[in-house]
Amino acid sequence: MSDALPFGLGYLPQIIGGVGITLFLAASAMVLGCLTGLILALVRFFGIRFANALAIGFIEFFLLTPPLIHIFWAYYVLPVMTGWRIDPITVCALALSLSVAAHMAEVFRAGLQSIPRGQHNACHVLGLNAWDKYTKVIFPQTSRVILGPSTNVLVTLVKDTSLASIIGLGELLHRGEVIAAAKFNFLEILTLVGLIYAAVNYPLIVIARRFEARALKAYA
């Protein structure tokens, strides 16, 4: 029955089951990456001594190296070195979150630096303390600036979750690969997988464009 439908549509229910894992993996990596990236950005923005050099080294390393290497290292090398075997979904979430952290650190830092110096001076004139200054004035303005770039990072992350298939995690791409290999129908099934990725990411791209347009309009 599944083979009778064109374009691999007969296998859609089996393939679509991997979307849940893909989205869970992306959400986990995004949350962990944003939290880590925020800490790194604050360290760099405030120029905290000693920690600043470590933050720069972390960011540059994970910006310059591919997430696939991080997944391989955590899944195959770390158990040999430490004796700890981590389950595939945890490995992928942690590995992808490191790349997200590096990108989000730059997004957060750029957002903080985009706030005009006059805003900081105005806070000083009003007598606001550091906590009120950043929580009530600087950070709310920064959030509007970073929403668009942050959504773009999420779009890239959703695509990068396909790297998890290399260690056999049953996300979207891996399920498609298994079915395609069993049925010798790579063209139609992997094309269908690609279209599902596009369908998942399209709303995110639309949201990112709207956020960027609002930010540009606000600063205009």
DSSP letters along 145-165, please?
Answer: HHHHHHHHHHHHHHHHGGGGG
Q: What is the CATH number of the domain that holds 95?
A: 1.10.3720.10
Q: Which residues of the chain have pLDDT under 50?
A: 1, 4
6 Cβ contact list (under 8 Å, min separation 6): 188
128 Cβ contact list (under 8 Å, min separation 6): 136, 137
In a domain, 58, yes or no: yes
Q: What is the pLDDT of residue 92?
A: 93
Burial class (CB in 10 A: 0-12, 13-18, 19+), 87: exposed
Provide the domain limits for residue 127: 6-219
In a domain, 52, yes or no: yes
What are the C-alpha distances in Å from 108 to residues 37, 80, 122, 205?
7, 36, 22, 19
Q: Which two tokens stand for residue 116?
A: 């005009």
In a domain, 1, yes or no: no
Given a contact cutoff of 8 angstroms between Cβ atoms, the answer to whether 162 and 14 are in contact is no
**For residues 116 and 5, what is the distance between their CA atoms, to the nearest angstrom?**
58
Q: What is the pLDDT of residue 216?
A: 65
Q: What is the pLDDT of residue 163?
A: 92
Given a contact cutoff of 8 angstroms between Cβ atoms, the answer to whether 172 and 95 are in contact is no
Q: What is the pLDDT of residue 1?
A: 46
Work out how many domains the chain is built from and give that number. Answer: 1
In a domain, 85, yes or no: yes
Can you say whether the dihedral through the CA atoms of 132, 137, 138, 139 is positive or negative?
positive
In a domain, 197, yes or no: yes
Q: What is the pLDDT of residue 142?
A: 86
In a domain, 46, yes or no: yes
In a domain, 32, yes or no: yes
